[in-house]
Amino acid sequence: MQVDYIKDVHGFEDDNITLLLDDGDHTKPTKANIAAAYRNLVKTAKDGDVVYLHYSGHGVKLADDDGDEEDGFDECLVPLDFQTKGIIRDDDLLKILVKPMAEGVFVTSIMDCCHSGSILDLPYSFKADGTQEDMGEEEGFNFDKVDETPDDEDDDEGGRCTIS
């Protein structure tokens, strides 16, 4: 299990690990719980910290609802309660997790789900296709223009379609 790996190999401590699982023993990976876990991480992370995020569950793409996606689609996480609370759009992940993260925090994020390639709306892209050597910066991206008000609390709009 990844928890054992990051503890045994990289020295992460239990107090610094948050698990959301739909196993009946842990906090459930609902929309509100996922957002709260990301917000808490942002609140506590500081310059020099190393952060490891792992989402393993469903992902979907839906028509872009605010015109910021070049391909016309938002990539989304599908929480346990998606049928009543909706999905978590890449726009909200950018506002909740990416933009407010303290400078100098080293983040590794593994998104084991469909449509996850640009799910954090980062201004850089890398394609492991054997031809690209460096991260390519997206033209015209400006973090200062990101609206910092996420629409994640009770949003049930969007598609209907688990963190482990």
Active site (catalytic) residues: 58, 114
Distance, CA of 113 to CA of 58 (rounded, Å):
5
Cβ-contact 97, 42 below 8 angstroms: yes
Distance, CA of 143 to CA of 109 (rounded, Å):
19
Residues near 16 by beta carbon (within 8 Å), at least 6 away in sequence: none
Please give the torsion angle defined by the CA atoms of residues 40, 89, 81 and 12, in that order, rounded to the nearest 10 degrees: -30
